[in-house]
């Protein structure tokens, strides 16, 4: 019985990882198609500031 639960937990983890990657890849493609937002510009500014302080 415990072995069955472990198998189901591993299967759920694998499905979650696969779905998570699929969503992330779709989001990256969508982000490339849309214009920059203020959130993108803010993130770029933060990265530039961090790079300049190194």
pLDDT at site 16 = 77
Q: Answer whether residue 24 shows pLDDT above 60.
A: no
How many Å apart are CA 53 and CA 14, to the nearest integer?
39
pLDDT at site 35 = 62
- Please report, rounded to a whole number, the percentage of residues in the chain having pLDDT higher than 90: 0
- Please report, rounded to a whole number, the percentage of residues in the chain having pLDDT higher than 70: 57
Mean pLDDT over residues 27-43, rounded? 63
How many Å apart are CA 12 and CA 20, to the nearest integer?
12
pLDDT at site 33 = 60
C-alpha dist (Å) from residue 13 to 7, 8, 18, 32, 34:
10, 9, 9, 29, 31
Quickly list DSSP for 8-45: HHHHHHHHHHHHHHHHHHHHHHHHHHSPP-HHHHHHHH
Q: Answer whether residue 41 shows pLDDT above 80.
A: no
């Amino acid at each position: 019985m415990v072995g069955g639960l472990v198998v189901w937990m591993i299967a759920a983890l694998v499905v979650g990882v696969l779905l998570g990657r699929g969503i992330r890849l779709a989001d990256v493609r969508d982000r490339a198609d849309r214009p920059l937002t203020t959130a993108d510009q803010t993130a770029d500014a933060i990265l530039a500031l961090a790079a300049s302080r190194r």
